[in-house]
Amino acid sequence: MDVHLFVPCYLDQVHPEVAMATVTVLRRAGCTVHYSDQQTCCGQPMANTGCADDAAVLARRHLDLFAGKTTVCPSGSCTSMVSHHYHDLGLRLSATDEKTMHRTFELSDFLVNVLGVTDLKARFPHKVSLHQSCHGLRELGLGVMSERRDPPKLGPAEVLLAQVEGLTLVMPERRDECCGFGGTFAVAEADLSARMGHDRCDQLSQGDAEYMTGNDQSCLMHLDGIRKRRGKGPKAIHLAEILACQ
């Protein structure tokens, strides 16, 4: 299958290894990966700050660039921005735009629910705790939400991690508590955000986890920054990186 890679702006610049791992995994799953270096940012930081007009400019660019393509992104919140929030920006959306939004998938969702992978031949002999990032979980529905009483169904990240040889998954006590990142919140309410991050690091350390993983590098970057500063806790590693390990 031909897939077009949507690499969130901060991944491109700060965590290219996650995007590289995404390429590896998609190729291993049999996809032909395309990437356009004309892409920049989906507009999420602007949209979440309320600056809809500024976000709309970027959203328009994004939709035109990815028009009608099957797009995969290794971030739940950026995916959700495209698939769920482009409606909120006052844009005129064509049928193609709607299709583009609809065909934008978060990586784990794509692997499990579109490709139906059952074994990526990944090996990662470690104890890993899973941080389910909020937007992927509560907007894209990538997992069981602790608040809701829906019929139980494993999320794609859990499905994939179960396929990894040697990996022991530990779920934190508060399954899906927010890590406190929240985009500009992390800077505007730095103390609150940090306190939430500390608490989340504690929860993700339970069961002697060596690594904490998830499908949103922004949350992981925040958690790992706190982990490094305090000098204890599991190391952050993106789900794609685990899946790429052999």
Among residues 160, 166, 163, 175, the alpha carbon closest in space to that of 130 is found at: 175
Amino acid identity of 215? N
**Measured between alpha carbons, how far is 1 from 150 in angstroms, rounded to an integer?**
32
**Measured between alpha carbons, how far is 104 from 27 in angstroms, rounded to an integer?**
18
137 three-class SS = helix
Site string for another protein, 51-90 (x = CB under 8 A): xx-xx-xx--x--------------------------x--
Nearest approach in angstroms of CB 54 to another protein is 4
User: According to CB under 8 A, which one of 1, 96, 188, 208 is a site residue for another protein?
Assistant: 188
**In Å, what is the CA distance from 188 to each residue of 85, 154, 194?**
22, 35, 11
Secondary structure element (H or E) that encloses residue 32, with its range: strand 32-34
User: According to CB under 8 A, which one of 31, 101, 161, 244 is a site residue for another protein?
Assistant: 244
User: According to CB under 8 A, which one of 3, 41, 117, 170 is a site residue for another protein?
Assistant: 41
Q: Is residue 148 within the footprint of another protein (CB under 8 A)?
A: yes
Of 99 and 210, the one with the shorter C-beta distance to another protein is 210
Helices (H), 206-238: 217-230
Nearest approach in angstroms of CB 125 to another protein is 14
104 three-class SS = strand
Nearest approach in angstroms of CB 82 to another protein is 15
Q: Is residue 213 within the footprint of another protein (CB under 8 A)?
A: no
User: According to CB under 8 A, which one of 3, 4, 24, 167 is a site residue for another protein?
Assistant: 24
Near another protein in 92-121, by CB under 8 A: none
Nearest approach in angstroms of CB 148 to another protein is 5
Nearest approach in angstroms of CB 150 to another protein is 7
Secondary structure element (H or E) that encloses residue 19, with its range: helix 16-28
| 236, 220 Cβ separation under 8 angstroms | yes
Q: Is residue 131 within the footprint of another protein (CB under 8 A)?
A: no
